């Protein structure tokens, strides 16, 4: 920009816009095209989802967003001063949009207390090598992996959870298009497309999310590779579909309607987690068989119980589903934890058990029905 350019005026149609257009019009034609293409790219990212992504990525990189006026200001600052962070924010927004869609899967590990080796460079390299092999692309294709940390904020409690993420970039099959080349005539230009695989690891909830094209079988292979390299001492994970949790159903003691065909002997709520609008947390767990957690809260707190008093919201609950002995199997208990807004720890058992639990939770109005599968088409 020329020295003395007035940055203080604002608004479309003002002297600022006219002066800015004058500066752009004075540039060489090719430079104008490149600059306008960059500005168009910035404009395509100016939405609330990208602002959320910036708030997830930038704090972990030591980039302060305080004082910046909106998403346009944030994007321009990142593009100029932190281009690597800018690309991370764009990728993060893309992954966030795909969450819950056709090319996304989440996998739940058992809470066995064994730490994941997410910072082990050897494990990272081995995992990326396996991920490339799953893609079944020629060895000469370039590849790169970007590992970073992001922060997710719970929409109700404001609680922050640190997520370890990886984006694996691989040269995909080439494509071609017509363009005007150096001779000013039409030429067919070949360019190498880039394929992305996104991994998000939540050690606190023992969940790994995988965003990749290729169908469920391919994402299962990524999950197995993650388990092999980062959690070799744990049982392999199971897929945990993202379903909206309806915890308001548990504000009164539920009846848990069951039928003989369900093979369920009994159900109980073994814990309830509450969040207060004032910022407090409270957790109550059932102890002993003499009364339910609802009877305890009523006996101990009466109208001051968080189930009855205003300002308290249920944010998590644990159910114990007792399966009757049948078909040669002993009586057993399946434990399921529901956390708002959409986390369900399906038992790490058989596919039949997982499907049975999902059907029961839906029947008891504790999870919403599955959404139609969606696929997100990225802007060019």
Instruction: Give the model's pLDDT for residue 347.
Output: 65
Nearest to 134 by CA among 227, 213, 235: 213
What is the length of the chain? 380
pTM of the model: 0.78
Instruction: Give the model's pLDDT for residue 352.
Output: 77
Instruction: Give the model's pLDDT for residue 292.
Output: 93
d(C-alpha 313, C-alpha 279), whole Å: 11
As a three-state string, the secondary structure of 63-76 is CCCCCCCHHHHHHH
d(C-alpha 120, C-alpha 230), whole Å: 8
Other CB atoms within 10 A of residue 162 CB: 13
Instruction: Give the model's pLDDT for residue 375.
Output: 45
d(C-alpha 363, C-alpha 104), whole Å: 25
Instruction: Give the model's pLDDT for residue 101.
Output: 78
Instruction: Give the model's pLDDT for residue 222.
Output: 94
Q: What is the pLDDT along the chain (380 residues), one digit of tens a residue?
A: 777 777 776 555 567 777 878 888 888 888 888 888 888 998 999 988 899 999 999 999 999 999 888 899 999 999 999 999 999 999 899 888 888 778 889 998 888 889 999 999 999 999 999 988 898 888 788 888 999 999 998 888 888 899 999 999 988 888 888 888 777 788 888 877 888 899 999 998 899 999 998 888 999 999 999 999 999 988 888 888 788 999 999 999 998 988 888 888 899 999 999 999 878 899 999 877 789 999 999 999 999 999 999 899 999 999 999 988 877 778 888 889 999 998 888 766 677 788 888 889 999 999 988 765 544 434 33
Tokens of 134: 């799953």
How would you class 303 by CB atoms within 10 Å of its CB: exposed for 0-12, middle for 13-18, buried for 19 or more? exposed
Instruction: Give the model's pLDDT for residue 29.
Output: 86
Instruction: Give the model's pLDDT for residue 214.
Output: 85
Tokens of 266: 């009994």
Opening angle at CA 9, ends 5 and 15, nearest 5: 75
């Amino acid at each position: 920009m020329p020295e003395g350019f007035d940055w203080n005026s604002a608004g479309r149609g003002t002297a600022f816009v006219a002066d800015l257009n004058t500066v752009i019009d004075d540039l060489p034609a090719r430079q104008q095209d490149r600059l306008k293409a960059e500005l168009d790219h910035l404009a395509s990212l100016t939405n609330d989802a990208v602002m959320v992504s910036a708030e997830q990525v930038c704090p972990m990189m030591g980039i302060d967003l305080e004082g910046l006026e909106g998403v346009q200001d944030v994007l321009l600052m990142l593009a100029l001063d932190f281009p690597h962070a800018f690309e991370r924010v764009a990728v993060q927004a893309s992954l966030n949009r795909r969450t819950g869609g056709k090319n996304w899967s989440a996998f739940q590990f058992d809470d066995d207390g064994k730490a994941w080796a997410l910072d082990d460079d050897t494990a990272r390299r081995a995992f990326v090598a396996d991920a490339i092999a799953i893609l079944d692309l020629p060895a000469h294709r370039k590849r790169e992996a970007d590992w970073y940390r992001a922060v997710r904020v719970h929409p109700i409690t404001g609680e922050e959870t640190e997520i370890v993420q990886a984006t694996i970039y691989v040269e995909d099959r080439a494509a071609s298009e017509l363009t005007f080349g150096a001779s000013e005539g039409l030429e067919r230009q070949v360019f190498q497309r880039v394929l992305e695989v996104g991994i998000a690891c939540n050690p606190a909830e023992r969940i790994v999310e995988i965003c990749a094209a290729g169908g469920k079988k391919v994402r299962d292979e990524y999950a197995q590779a993650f388990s092999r390299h980062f959690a070799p001492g744990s049982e392999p994970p199971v897929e945990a579909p993202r379903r909206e949790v309806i915890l308001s159903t548990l504000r009164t003691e539920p009846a848990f309607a069951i039928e003989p065909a369900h093979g369920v002997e009994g159900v109980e709520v073994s814990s309830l987690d509450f969040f207060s609008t004032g910022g407090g947390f409270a957790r109550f767990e059932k102890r002993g068989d003499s009364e339910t957690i609802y009877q305890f809260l009523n006996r101990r707190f009466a109208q001051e119980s968080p189930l009855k008093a205003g300002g308290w919201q249920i944010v998590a609950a644990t159910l114990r589903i007792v399966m009757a002995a049948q078909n040669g199997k002993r009586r057993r208990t399946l434990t399921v934890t529901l956390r708002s807004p959409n986390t369900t720890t399906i038992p790490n058992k058989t596919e039949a058990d997982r499907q049975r639990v999902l059907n029961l939770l839906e029947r008891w109005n504790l999870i919403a029905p599955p959404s139609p599968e969606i696929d997100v088409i990225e802007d060019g």
